Structure 1
């Protein structure tokens, strides 16, 4: 046998996992055809299968019933004829009795075998299974031969009757019945297609309404909720879509607020920076106004401070946008190590403030960079409000199973009660805080990070009248316990 290797241009060889053209055609049609046509086709196919099965069953049932009815009639007539064979007149002249029987049953051929005789009286009927009846090994037999139904029976004295019933009328009746059933089945399939179209159109009307509503949202950018009709699966889908629209609207509103607030916050330092830069440029021009060296140094310091303020604000905006985006960094975090790293950075910034840190081992899964930034913001905020030679106290305490509490306390003026909920809002700055450097985004970023790690944060008053930020985070005292959780 010679095996031929298919060339690159010869297509896939037989037996390869090549795509079936019929399957590709079916898939392509199902993707292109409207859903109502697909539903109608499925309905028609199911009805056609059901009608086909019922037609076959009905045809077989009627055909079998008619054949059994003919067999019972033949058996009754054969028994009647054999019963008459005990009559002396029948024994004397059986040919007359057979002729009389045929007169009343013209569609039946009769062959009568007297006891011990091998020659029939009446019609000549070919025998097959009837041999066993003639030999006495069987009481009766029945079979079909062409258009005839042949029945044979023997009585106690050895007389045998073979009857051949003409079945052409019965077969014609059965054929007519099959044709009628086939016609009814075809009409049923057509009705099923029409009914499927009606059902599909009616059932898909809510889908069409939802599609038009979605198209309207895409075309007009109108995020108003879609009207919910009923309480079925499509109504639930509409509610889910309305939830998505609400989330999209809230996200867009937050983005607009962020842009508006960011523009407002950026406008003030930019205006001051432009004024100071223009003043310095005016001084540097030949023949321009002159100012003292002290005033010039003050202007330069203001410019640097405003640039730093802009840089801080932009950095906070970037952090805030990062927190609003998808988060993918998840690893087991040593919270004590994370806190110590942030503490080292803030100590370098405020060497005039004393920091005390009471740690407790704690591990949790999350974003180490985000948690470190949140801890640094809380420490920076506490140091900013603490006076010179003040103290910032950071305490870690496990309050219950799976929950760690962190407290950031300072010795500053504290936060008024009416402002304690608002300090976590974006760009919110209390009246007392407006004279201090900052963007009003630090605590908002902290709140988002804590919430993303399934924690909570509240603003309270510290023991010495300053501010205290109370943070709770889930986790476990050891890495093994956290992995088990």
Structure 2
């Protein structure tokens, strides 16, 4: 049953649940109403029996019973032998003794049960219960002890016909109302399902449209703060992120093509010159040939570096966490400084490095530090100094080059962005983008700012990690 229910469409399940909930509520209300009315009718009948007891001359009833003016069952007594108060009331009156014998004063004989005999034996004061007559009619019976007698009780009975008829009519009425309620519940369920799932239908149509056309500019109207509105806003944010990612990817491809075109064109030109020299037999002067080969080598090196940077940026982040480990940032910075000194032997690089351990991917982090130092080496004039410091998780690299204009600082971490003044220098414009990505993956932050007087200050902050235990041996 549960499997069949789950197999139904969401709209059908929602409509069925709403209809069931409303139908159960209507049925529960009808049942509660029936019991409330039933109790009220019984209370009213019990009050009438209590009034009958107060108005009945019990002494006369006892005297009639003692004189034998009663029967075990049967007809109403002659008017001259009845109590006037009892005559005015439509009552069944009988006297009961402790042995369960009955003496009918008026009406039909009622079945005597143990509660009646206990009252007759003076073991309880009175009793209220239902009893049946010989013809099957059900009565509401009040039995109370006869005053001035050691034993014996009077049972007053009123037929439950009126109560049962009223309850029967009420039952049919409530069944009719419940039926209408069930039908209304079904209609309400369909309406709620259709209205409630309309935003879901819109979302489904939008998703299908995006899948069919790959149009990520479509937006779903999101009104209110309910779950559907939140889902719509989440979908809009997702499509906006996908559109932005698609745009960045297209821009990356365009920028990469542009950056690759220059070295490839230069490389092609140089190779064509070498090939033409071989084909025509006209030798290129040795100095020109040496310069030409050096240019080819430099262009190939630039292409290799550019392709490596592109591979680094295109590398997915999914495998990053698996390669993360606790490493000493001071050790990585020291290794990067040694590499930077080889690239700028005419520069003075000073370092003050406090021990600091971080969680990162060692090769990627070292490459990011090397890129920062390479920039400092590239833009430092001959004989200048570069100061490197590491204190409390903040790495600072200070150079004394021309610096970066304030209006260009917001763009330094963009892919392929290069300052107009640096376009003639070697580089792909991806180094600082790789730095920003690596530092962010390690949970840190990086910024570039103008130094005092001149130059640029690069600052990298990385959160610390527990110091790894010393290796054995």
- TM-score class, shorter-chain normalisation, is 0.7 to 0.9
* CA deviation vs aligned residue, 1:42-85 (integer Å, no higher than 9, x gap): 22222232223222222222222222322332333244333472
How far the C-alpha of 1:382 sits from its partner, in A, is: 1.9
The corresponding residue for 1:143 is 129
1:152 maps to 2:152: no
In structure 1, what is the Cα distance between the partners aligned to 2:123 and 2:451? 114
The equivalences for 1:78-477 within 5 A come to 78-83=53-58, 85=60, 95-96=77-78, 97-98=81-82, 108-112=91-95, 120-122=103-105, 123-128=108-113, 129-146=115-132, 147-158=138-149, 160-224=153-217, 226-233=219-226, 234-285=228-279, 287-322=280-315, 327-328=320-321, 329-398=323-392, 404-410=394-400, 412-452=401-441, 453-461=443-451, 465=454, 467-476=455-464
Partner of 1:291: helix, strand, or coil? coil
Q: 1:89 to 1:376 in 2, by over 3 A?
A: closer
The separation in 2 between residues aligned to 1:297 and 1:89, in whole angstroms, is 149
TM-score by length of 1: 0.80
After TM superposition, give the deviation of residue 315 of structure 1 in Å.
Answer: 0.9
Tell me if structure 2 keeps the 8 A contact 1:408–1:469.
yes
Per the alignment, do residues 82 and 311 of structure 1 end up closer, same or farther by CA in structure 2, a change over 3 Å counting?
A: same
Equivalents in 1 of 2:9, 2:391: separation in Å? 63
Determine if the alignment matches structure 1 residue 51 to structure 2 residue 18: no
Output the CA distance in 2 between the equivalents of 1:113 and 1:420: 111
Normalised by the length of structure 2, the TM-score is 0.82
Distance 2:99 2:309 in 1: 121
- Contact 2:98 2:121 (C-alpha < 8 Å) held by counterparts: no
CA distance in 1, matches of 2:273, 2:309: 29
Cα separation, 1, equivalents of 2:60 and 2:204: 86
User: How many residue pairs were aligned?
Assistant: 446
Give 1:324 shift: 7.2
Instruction: Report Cα offsets for 1:146-184 as digits up to 9, x if no partner.
Output: 423333223313374323433244323323322322232
Instruction: Give the distance between the partners of 1:155 and 1:207, measured in 2 at CA.
Output: 77
Question: Relative to 1, partners in 2 of residues 1:315 and 1:110: Cα closer, same or farther, differing over 3 Å?
Answer: same
Kept in 1: contact 2:96–2:116 (CA 8 A): no
How many angstroms apart in 2 are the aligned matches of 1:172 and 1:86? 31
Gaps of 5+ in 2: 70-76, 133-137, 469-473
Change (3 A) 1:266 1:206: same
CA shift digits 1:227-281 (9 cap, x unpaired)? 5343222333323322222222221111111100000010111111112222222
Deviation string 1:115-174 (CA, Å, 9 cap, x unpaired) is 999662535443223222323333322322342333322331337432343324432332
User: CA 1:431/1:142 → structure 2, altered by over 3 Å: closer, same or farther?
Assistant: closer
The answer to whether the 8 A contact 2:203-2:220 is kept is no
Partner of 2:418, secondary structure, is coil
- CA, structure 1 residues 87+172, in 2 after alignment: closer, same or farther (shift >3 Å)? closer
Instruction: Write the distance in 2 (CA, Å) between the matches of 1:41 and 1:102.
Output: 59
Q: Distance in 2 between matches of 1:369 and 1:117?
A: 105
After superposition, the CA RMSD in angstroms is 3.4
CA distance in 2, matches of 1:471, 1:346: 17
Paired with 2:158 and 2:181, the residues of 1 have a C-alpha distance of 36
Question: Structure 1: where are the runs of 5+ without partners?
Answer: 1-21, 481-485
Kindly indicate whether the alpha-carbon contact (under 8 Å) linking 1:361 and 1:478 is maintained by their aligned counterparts in 2. no
Instruction: Note closer, same or farther for the CA distance 1:98–1:369 as it changes in structure 2 (3 Å cut).
Output: farther
- Distance in 1, matches of 2:142 and 2:187, equals 50
DSSP 3-state at the match of 1:301 = helix
- The Cα of 1:314 is off from its aligned counterpart by 0.6
